[in-house]
A and B are shown apart, each in its own frame.
Chain A
Amino acid sequence: MEIKKGIAVSPGISIAKSLIIDSEDYRIPRRSIEPAQRMAEIQRVRTAFQDAARQLGQLESAQERTDGGKIKDIFAVHLRFLRDKSLRSKIRGVITTDLVTAEYAVSTVLREIASHFTNAKDPYISERAADIYDIERRLLKQLLGRRREDVEHLSQEVTIVARELSPTQTAGFDKKYVKGIATDAGGRTSHTAIVARSLGIPAVMALEDLTEIVRGGDTIIVDGNRGIVIVNPDEETIRQCERYGRELTELEHKLDAIKEKPAETRDGVKITLLGNIEFPSEAEIVLQKGGEGIGLYRTEFLYLNRPTEPTEQEHYEAYAKTAQVLMQRPLVIRTVDLGADKYTQSKRFAPEPNPFLGLRSIRFSLQNLTMFKTQLRAILRASVLGRVKVMFPLITNLQEMMQAKMILRDVMDDLDEESIAYNRDIEVGIMIETPSAALMASALARGADFFSIGTNDLTQYTLAVDRGNELVSTLYSAADPAVLYLIKAVIQDAHKAQIDVAVCGEMASEPEHIMLLLGMGVRTLSLTSPMIPEIKQIIRSVTIEDCNNVARKVLGMSSERQVSNYLRDATRKILPEAF
């Protein structure tokens, strides 16, 4: 048994056999074979080595010595490994004694060799592990060939173990079989983490060298609440985890029961609960969880993990698909939030010294109008299919909002000329996620149909804290009085201007902040779908009067600690299971 501590990025607990996938999606499950099959598997290994060596030999001789022969030398080294008799006999040994498939034996032996290099102190030697992984991939490619299995065709429950996962890969996981995710890299705000949370798959990341420890088929516990992964747990640990898991499931079932009931306070005030999504396929999940629409569709995922920028048609298809699932329910499409940690194809290699204070989000769009226009055209075209609204991110001043609206207007004129249908009265909203926008909310309200408060960025920019930086992350809290002061001001300005105001940051999915938000006057929350039932439960357990009292008390407090403690106590009384 080995316990690894990482970062909890998606809640829940799971126990399942590991399925190791590398960046090329190979899965190497531990599969047992009959003793009679041994010779056949050994023959497969022999053929794989021969074919891989032949291929590599061709590659090597085709390689020009233009770079001083470096690549040629690398191939030459790999070739020596493929011709190494003792390597082959080691793999044969694993097949003979462990009774496993050729793939599994190859993967296990080569990973063991790789870890030997990884552990070396000399960085030159430790980097050689990459060569071994490369050889492993080459052999697996031969062995799996066309039969290469990907995680889309699973037939049993697994824990996905990987060095790193892309958001797109993760979004393709079938929740029925993928029970947990554990990766070497990543963090809470990584896109993969966001996707895992919205799929409701327990996940722990930043486990550093987990893939070195785990072999395919090992039993893995993923505890997405505490950020722990246990490899090959003992009986007692398994029992404990199963009990803990059952308790969580019971709570979830209890919450699922209220899915059909309205999100209404005890004194009859209706609250609108919407979902945050990254992919069209998630819209269905939001509805299943009792969401009444989409309050935040993060469209930058259309740009990630692909060699070229998406076309207007690709944008349109994604929006149309989502709108059709939602029918006449609201769908707020946020224009791309690129820059900072997310780049498009064309700008990926243009780093800035302070990306989060740089050319990102709406600024990036206003400096890349052709790209911006492509997206706006697609949103407008989809606007006839449902209650589509458009939202601009990271507005910091009036001019940005006006410029964005002006371009939207120009795009409408283009569509008119081309006789393409769209909703001319489409609602246009903005994200309030910078202190400047919060302070200028009354002026911005004159040009916006709605506000959505993005509490993650608002907190980061107000408190000047990067929450991904462990040296200062404890200072990051949406419950800081400074942040609450701004949120309160935005809500008041929106009410004065009689426009809708929603909260779409993580704060809206945190049970302890719900009474406060309602008390400050928020009536629309947009959050990650797995949290919708729990948040609804809280709403149904309180009265607006209770909430007003909580808000009044909190707004008189001057320290974050005071606020947090008070809110936790107040919420614990309502929903003790949540803590």
Chain B
Amino acid sequence: MRPAMQFVDIANQFDCDITVSNDENNVDGKSIMQISMLAAACGTRLKIKAQGRDAEKAVKVLKELVEEKHFDEPTPSEQKNARI
């Protein structure tokens, strides 16, 4: 559940609404409950949508986290990057 925690922590730093979806469900990217349940259901393709003031930046950072870090255990430098 640690990756889900990272995701949610980052998502919550933005003002915009963030939605994550697989093929079937859309969930709130700021809710650890919803994100972890989505993660439990599948390991497939995820879509991240954001709407609001800093939406663009939010998508970029979260995409980076999911794609490049593969939700692995972060090293301190990665965490720093993710917080930009």
Q: Mark A residues whose CB is within 8 Å of B.
A: 73, 76-77, 80-81, 84-87, 90, 113, 116-117, 120, 122, 125, 128, 131
Contacts and interface: CB of A to CB of B under 8 A. Distances in A.
Given A120-B41, A125-B40, A128-B1, A80 B34 contact: no
A125 B8 contact: no
B10 interface: no
Interface in B2-57: 2, 4-5, 8-9, 28, 30-34, 36-37, 39-41, 43
B22 to A, nearest CB: 14
Contacts of A125: 39-40
Q: Which of A85, A86, A116 has the most CB of B within 10 A?
A: A86
A106 to B, nearest CB: 13
Q: Sort A-B residue pairs by CB-CB distance and give the 4 closest, nearest first.
A: A86-B31, A80-B32, A87-B33, A120-B40
A87 B27 CA distance: 12
Contact of A86 (B5, B9, B28, B43): B28
16 contacts: A73-B5, A77-B1, A77-B4, A77-B5, A81-B32, A85-B30, A86-B28, A86-B33, A90-B33, A113-B33, A113-B37, A117-B36, A120-B40, A122-B43, A128-B36, A128-B40
B5 A87 contact: no
A77 B35 CA distance: 12
Given A128-B1, A131-B1, A77 B40 contact: no
> Chain B interface secondary structure, helix, strand, loop or mixed?
helix
Nearest to B32: A80
> Chain A interface secondary structure, helix, strand, loop or mixed?
helix
Contacts of B9: 80
A105 to B, nearest CB: 15
A148 B5 CA distance: 32
Interface residues of B, number: 18
A65 B80 CA distance: 20
A80 B39 CA distance: 16
Given A116-B37, A125-B39, A84 B2 contact: no
A84 B31 CA distance: 6
A43 B31 CA distance: 21
Contacts of A81: 32-33
Contact of B32 (A73, A77, A117): A77
B8 A73 contact: no
A124 to B, nearest CB: 10
Q: Which of B1, B2, B31, B43 has the most CB of A within 10 A?
A: B1
A138 to B, nearest CB: 15
Contacts of B32: 77, 80-81, 84
A341 B31 CA distance: 45
A84 B39 contact: no
A77 B2 CA distance: 7
A349 B47 CA distance: 49
Given A77-B2, A77-B5, A120-B41, A86 B34 contact: yes
Contact of B2 (A73, A87, A120): A73
A84 B33 contact: yes
A76 B4 CA distance: 11
Nearest to A76: B5
Given A80-B8, A116-B40, A117-B36, 7 more contacts: A77-B2, A80-B9, A81-B33, A86-B34, A87-B33, A125-B39, A128-B40
Contacts of B36: 117, 128
B41 A85 contact: no
Contacts of A73: 2, 5
Contacts of B41: 116, 120
A122 B33 CA distance: 18
A77 B32 CA distance: 8
A107 B18 CA distance: 28
Nearest to B43: A122
A90 B34 CA distance: 11
Nearest to A83: B32
Contacts of A76: 5
B80 to A, nearest CB: 17
A270 B54 CA distance: 92
A85 B2 contact: no
Contacts of B40: 116-117, 120, 122, 125, 128
Given A76-B5, A77-B5, A87 B31 contact: yes
B30 to A, nearest CB: 8
A128 B8 CA distance: 17
Contacts of A77: 1-2, 4-5, 32
Nearest to A82: B32
B54 to A, nearest CB: 19
B35 to A, nearest CB: 9
A240 to B, nearest CB: 39
B42 to A, nearest CB: 9
A80 B5 contact: yes
A17 to B, nearest CB: 29
Contacts of B28: 86
A80 B32 CA distance: 6
